[in-house]
Amino acid sequence: MTRICFIGAGSAEFTRQLVRDLLLMPDLGELHLVMHDVDETRLELARGIAELAGRHYRRPVTVTAERERRAALTDAQFVINTVNIGGHAATVTDLELPARYGVRQTIGDTLGVGGIFRGLRTFGFLDALAADMEQVCPDAWLLNYTNPMAMNVQYLAATHPRLKVLGLCHSVYWTVHDLCALVGVPMEQTTFFSFGVNHQAWLLRWEQDGRDLYPLLDERIAADDQLRRRVRVDMYRRLGFYPTETSEHSSEYVPWYLHLDEEIARLRIPVNDYLQISAANVRETERLVPRVAAGRYDEPDEEAAEYAPQVVHSLVTGAPRNIQVNVANDGLSPDFPAGAGIEVPCLLGSDGVRPRSVPALPSQCAALNRQFLAVVELTVRAAVEGRPELVRHALMADPNTAATVSLDTIWALADAMVEAHGALLAEPLRQRLQP
């Protein structure tokens, strides 16, 4: 029996999709799904979703709900993390408070003010989770979905280097999926090669039977003026390679767009978009609670495409796969420092997990990734070394923040964010600093 522990299982939409994908793999055999969440209502929801899914798909599955984290982790082979420290309230702070200082964001979970403080809120939890895993399931794989992905992977590599960690994100898959639909080519007939950093990787090769598909995309873009009014299309036209995250995300990681009203209008950038998405996630959880309690199972709308079930399947059955993973740079890329959290192709199968070495990126792509990783490094070091000045340095290095407001404003904003998040941050980082 394969034992899989869901940490933050009350993230109901993710849990529902992941459980569905696992149960659609009959050769996995019997599964033991252990649900853990600190919220009793959400924990019961996760347990109910898993039990109803087992009956719906007629699969043998044992489901356990466990409030105590170490008990949930004991003897796990795989640990899936979807925790959001601070929940919706912290997300609102991450977006609304910087806006009062003039800093616009769209999602705020990866870079920028929101990403930096989301990382700082999450690191303490990751440290405790990793310590528990080292005690009760030291051979388990931690499959992390929690953002900020690059920061979390890099932090764990710095603090718990022996832990087996894969950061998983569906952005590359859905980028290729949607581009194939755009140019009218079945995705299953294509091959692609992508790497970089999470949410800012690059589609370096995209082919059908050896034919480059980028010229088809160029034709489609040239014929559609509305398509040209998107951030990542604009970036692709200027940089030559398509970025692998949405325009909403991509706009936050560069210094060119969000501080300019005309660019927001030209590229239809939805400022504060994640406020609505996060609130909708809360409403969906509230909707599911009575339905699941009444024994009603709603199949997820999205197709089975998440990587965590694929990792489990390949490592249990030996089935070969090639997916994208986020790992610490251990000689994989010549462009980035050792230990940096990067996103690369990875082979899975009977011989385990094998992240692939990658060649040097095109210089313009590497330059943007290095700016991204500079913010990641400073944020991780701030937590590891307990140095609040490095939080300010991370904000100073952040492309969108630095392009938008003055240094004095950045320091005032840092103090305001520290005060707002309070005890969610490690004590050494809660100091107010004079420049």
Backbone angles phi, psi at 7, to 5 degrees: -100, 125
Distance from C-alpha of 303 to C-alpha of 336, rounded to nearest angstrom: 34
Place of tokens 């560069």: 254
Residue pair 66/39 in contact (Cβ under 8 Å)? The answer is no
Token pair, residue 26, equals 């009959």
Burial of 222 (0-12, 13-18, 19+ CB in 10 A): exposed
- The H or E element that residue 309 is part of is helix 307-317
Kindly state the DSSP code that residue 79 receives in the 8-state scheme: E
Q: Where does residue 269 fall: left (phi above 0), alpha (psi -120 to 50 degrees), or beta otherwise? A: beta
CA distance linking residue 218 with residue 417, whole number of Å: 42
DSSP 108-175: -SSSHHHHHHHHHHHHHHHHHHHHHHHHH-TT-EEEE-PSSHHHHHHHHHHH-TTSEEEE--SHHHHH
Quick one: angle between helices 87-100 and 112-136, nearest 10? 150
Strands 200-208 and 352-355: unpaired
Residue 193 backbone dihedrals phi, psi, to 5 degrees? -140, 125
Strands 211-212 and 200-208: what pairing?
antiparallel
Tokens of 86: 């601070």
- Name the residue among 347, 343, 319, 336 with its Cα closest to residue 371: 336
Catalytic, out of 32, 88, 170, 177: 170
Catalytic-residue membership of 170: yes
- Judging by DSSP bridges, how do beta strands 61-65 and 31-36 pair with one another? parallel
Cβ atoms within 10 Å, residue 173: 18
Which helix (H) or strand (E) is 314 found in, with range? Answer: helix 307-317
List, by residue number, the catalytic residues. 170
